Amino acid sequence: MELELRHLRILVAIADAGSLTRAAAALLLSQPAVSTQLKRIETALGQPVFVREVTGVRPTRFGDEVIAHARNAVASADRIRESKRTAATEESAVRLGGSPGPVFSHLATRLSGLIDAPVASHQFPSAAWALDRLANDHLDLVAITDVFGYESKPQAGIVHAVIGVEPALVLLPIGHRLAGEKQVELVDLAEESWTMSPLERDGGDRAAFVAICVAAGFAPRIDHDIVDTGTAFDLVIQGAALALAQGGVRMREGMAAKRLTGDPIRVRHVLAWRDPGRLVGSQGTLIEAAKEGFAGRRLAADLE
């Protein structure tokens, strides 16, 4: 008889239970059926795997080795099955992507209920990365942010809707000379050090920020290339750098968020999908949900 995975599961169950009766209950089989299977397994192996005792069974020395291998095989088979299940779920799931922002956060928690389908969420550090994956059919829907006047350019076949536009804020340490002002002139920050993501050196929000500063009469000094928001906030709190933020930024103690006079930097919140695509019939529902997320975060930042 060739040993199969089901035989190995029986051996593991018997070893864990310590008796054929308890193993049978765990396997949802009758005790005689388990006993018969064990005899066949031991015959195939040519040696006893368990010693029968009054109180139950215990592995022989040979049985210890067999059971160890059986456990590894069963665990590997279970991992393979889980990988297969996960892959199937991801294949059927709606793939949501986006850059950090209130619309992406809101949809990540609400989308599954809106479309009655599983959702797999993927966050990217920039709008360009998310849009590329949408165009290449690696995503079904993206929620991104970009800078007004320096908008992302979706590829052919991509439809987008502007969910809202809000002013960008500048984050200052609480002890900064301008922290007490209601609004701050961008040019008054010309000598400051800044922290920004290094992932958009050739475009995106970083390039837009530089262009807007140059138009205001200075080239910004970006001394800190930081991806992680927590580290960037630490730099701000310690007075090592300033940073830009969306209106709904979750503030930390030691920081002040100030609006720039005239709102020279405005953030667009955009929803995009493919047409034709999986979600074409649901765009009205998705846009309304995206607007809910945008409105909620704006109210939290007291920008209305």
Tens digits of residue pLDDT in 263-285: 999 999 999 999 888 887 888 99
Same domain flag for 151 and 203: no
What DSSP designation does 261 have? T
- pLDDT band for 204, please (50, 70, 90 cuts): confident
Q: Are 156 and 278 found together in one domain?
A: yes
Same domain, yes or no: 156 and 226: no
Question: Which structural domain range is residue 14 located in?
Answer: 5-90
Please tell me the predicted confidence (pLDDT) of residue 11: 93
21 and 82 assigned to the same domain: yes
Quick one: 260 and 173 in the same domain? yes
Task: Give the angle subtended at the CA of 161 by the CAs of 157 and 167, to the nearest 5°.
Answer: 135
Number of domains in the chain: 3
174 and 221 both lie in a single domain: yes
Q: Tell whether the torsion through CA atoms of 224, 229, 230 and 235 is positive or negative.
A: positive
**pLDDT number for residue 84:** 66
Contact 227, 199 (CB under 8 A): yes
Which pLDDT score, from 0 to 100, does residue 152 have? Answer: 86
Q: Rounded distance, CA 224 to CA 243, Å?
A: 10
List CB contacts of 32: < 8 A, sequence separation 6 or more. none
Angle, alpha carbons 269-273-279 (nearest 5°): 125
20 and 35 housed in the same domain:
yes
What CATH number did the domain enclosing 113 receive?
3.40.190.10
Q: What predicted TM-score, i.e. pTM, was given to this entire model?
A: 0.68
Q: Which backbone phi and psi does 290 adopt, to 5 degrees?
A: -65, -40
Q: Are residues 61 and 85 in the same domain?
A: yes
Residues 124 and 9 in one domain: no
Shared domain check, 178 and 257: yes
248: left (phi over 0), alpha (psi -120 to 50) or beta: alpha
Kindly state whether residues 105 and 118 are assigned to the same domain: yes
If one compares 202 and 46, the residue with the highest pLDDT of the two is 46
Q: How much is the average pLDDT of 289-294?
A: 93
Whether 29 and 76 map to the same domain: the answer is: yes
Tell which of 74, 90, 106 closes a domain. 90
pLDDT of res. 304: 44
Task: Share the mean pLDDT of the chain.
Answer: 89
